[in-house]
């Protein structure tokens, strides 16, 4: 079959130009959506009398048959096809002859590819959602297993205050829940049918666009044909979600890398998600966590790459948009793999309470709690902060924790420090005192766990 655009041209593309411009190797994964929109469009053409009943049935039957053949071996059907649209049309024409050449009536590859990409995004949302929820469930299982385990909270990767390990893990659940919200926004953004916009100014045939949209599962249609064929904001929205989610996966991966180092030794990651060294027999490297961390930059750059493609384009469609598919497909594929790896890896993680407890004796984790106790005794907070800082310096010089200081040592710093105050200075009491919504107190964590269990299962 001749090129879809060949009538105007006497010669063909230069071979280098052809290799540079053909997109079939990338966009072939859109074939189910291209066939679906061709079926809906043909049905719409039949509704308004552009196609007879017999022609529509012949086209629909051919499209169903082509779909089955492409499901079996899409690569084997490709010849010298420019893109997935020309591939599908060629195969249909081979089956029904000139009737197949009527299939493109009233539409353009411009509105066709925009529709196909939106359909692909809509199909992608639920698998991504399952991947995010899978990570949430793995984190929830860990949080339930170590619900009451004390843990050092950090700021600047310096010991800060005591918390519960479950509270730390649930922080990532909060991140992933925001990713689910972003996914739903991406769904709404993509759920708008551009088919019927033609090349730029709309279809020249009175097709019922809302009917065609319903046939494809869209809830609404685009309201401006010029914007419809050149809008890729829905892809930017998906990439924004992918980038944010990868950032969350990367932060969690970074902590897994740190915690699993023998220098810290708070966790062990299972063999199925670690590798060894070709030289050093003792090594157990957290390679999967490192790869997630490394691939994050690749996904993060996708939004900027696509935005850079779009930013200088005049309305409406430009061939530059061909670049969107490779960018988006790679980002989503990478995110899906990373989510699957993280879900599985978390299920192999074992925390080591003795190592955690040893680390909690470092960094004077109870300093803020002591300042709070002084405030409760009537000492103004700024004075309490200064006194506690002096006590920290004294304890550090003596090689002790704050709780190990004697009454004499406390009085040497200030007579304002009440006797017996250190009796209340424990890790458990410090954690229990943070009994506010979102705090680390055990009953707050239990309420949060119960809430999450109701949503995601236990």
> Which of 442, 371, 429, 362 is CA-nearest to residue 399?
362
Q: Helix or strand or coil: residue 189?
A: helix
By the 8 A CB rule, do 57 and 29 touch? no
Contact call for residues 39 and 29 (beta carbons, < 8 A): no
Cα 224 to chain centroid, rounded: 30
- Within 10 angstroms of residue 361's Cβ, the number of other Cβ atoms is 14
Distance CA 199, CA 273 (A): 49
Active site residue 156: yes
The residue behind tokens 């405030």 is 375
Strand partners for 151: 163
From the candidates 98, 156, 278, 354, give the one annotated as an active-site residue. Answer: 156
Contacts of 86 (CB under 8 A, 6+ apart): 1, 3, 4, 24
Q: Which residue reads 């063999």 in tokens?
A: 271
* β-pairing verdict for 267-268 and 350-351: antiparallel
Residue 245 CB-density burial (10 A; 0-12 exposed, 13-18 middle, 19+ buried): buried
Catalytic annotation, pick one of 277, 297, 308, 406 = 277
Contact 129, 246 (CB under 8 A): no
- The alpha carbon torsion through 332, 338, 339, 340 (nearest 10 deg) reads 110
Q: Is 296 exposed, middle or buried (0-12, 13-18, 19+ CB in 10 A)?
A: buried
Locate all alpha helices (DSSP H) within 146-232, ordered by sequence. 165-190, 209-216, 225-230
Q: How far apart are CA 384 and CA 370, in angstroms?
A: 8
The residues annotated with a catalytic role in the active site are 156, 277
């Amino acid at each position: 079959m001749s090129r879809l655009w060949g009538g105007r041209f006497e010669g063909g593309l230069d071979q280098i130009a052809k290799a540079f411009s053909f997109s079939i190797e990338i966009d072939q994964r859109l074939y189910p959506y291209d066939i679906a929109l061709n079926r809906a469009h043909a049905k719409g053409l039949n509704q308004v009398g552009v196609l007879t009943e017999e022609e529509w049935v012949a086209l629909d039957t051919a499209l169903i048959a082509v779909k089955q053949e492409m499901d079996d071996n899409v690569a084997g059907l490709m010849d010298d096809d420019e893109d997935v649209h020309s591939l599908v049309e060629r195969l249909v024409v081979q089956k029904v002859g000139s009737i197949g050449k009527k299939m493109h009536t009233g539409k353009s590859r411009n509105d066709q590819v925009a529709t196909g990409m939106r359909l692909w995004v809509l199909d992608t949302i639920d698998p991504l959602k399952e991947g995010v929820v899978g990570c949430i469930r793995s984190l929830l299982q860990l949080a339930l297993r170590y619900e009451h385990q004390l843990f050092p909270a950090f700021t600047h990767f310096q010991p800060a205050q005591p918390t519960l390990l479950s509270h730390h893990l649930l922080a990532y659940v909060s991140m992933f829940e925001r990713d689910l919200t972003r996914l739903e926004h991406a769904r709404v953004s993509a759920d708008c049918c551009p088919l019927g916009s033609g090349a730029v100014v709309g279809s020249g045939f009175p097709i019922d666009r809302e009917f065609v949209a319903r046939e494809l599962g869209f809830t609404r249609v685009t309201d401006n044909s010029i914007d419809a064929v050149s809008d890729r904001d829905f892809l930017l929205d998906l990439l924004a979600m992918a980038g944010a989610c990868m950032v969350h996966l990367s932060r969690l991966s970074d902590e897994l890398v740190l915690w699993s180092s023998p220098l810290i030794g708070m966790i062990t990651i299972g063999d199925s998600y670690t590798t060894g060294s070709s030289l050093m027999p003792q090594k157990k490297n957290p390679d999967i966590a490192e790869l997630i961390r490394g691939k994050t930059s690749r996904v993060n750059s996708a939004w900027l790459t696509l935005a850079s493609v779009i930013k200088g384009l005049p309305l409406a469609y430009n061939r530059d948009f061909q670049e969107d598919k490779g960018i988006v497909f790679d980002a989503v594929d990478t995110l899906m793999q990373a989510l699957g790896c993280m879900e599985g890896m978390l299920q192999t993680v074992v925390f080591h309470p003795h190592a955690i407890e040893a680390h909690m004796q470092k960094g004077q984790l109870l300093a803020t709690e002591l300042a709070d106790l002084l405030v409760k005794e009537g000492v103004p907070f700024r004075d309490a902060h200064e006194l506690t800082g002096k006590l920290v310096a004294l304890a550090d010089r003596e090689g002790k924790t704050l709780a190990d200081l004697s009454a004499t040592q406390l009085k040497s710093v200030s007579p304002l420090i009440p006797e017996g105050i250190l009796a209340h200075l424990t890790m458990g009491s410090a954690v229990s005192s943070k009994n506010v919504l979102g705090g680390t107190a055990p009953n707050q964590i239990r309420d949060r766990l119960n809430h999450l269990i109701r949503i995601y299962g236990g």
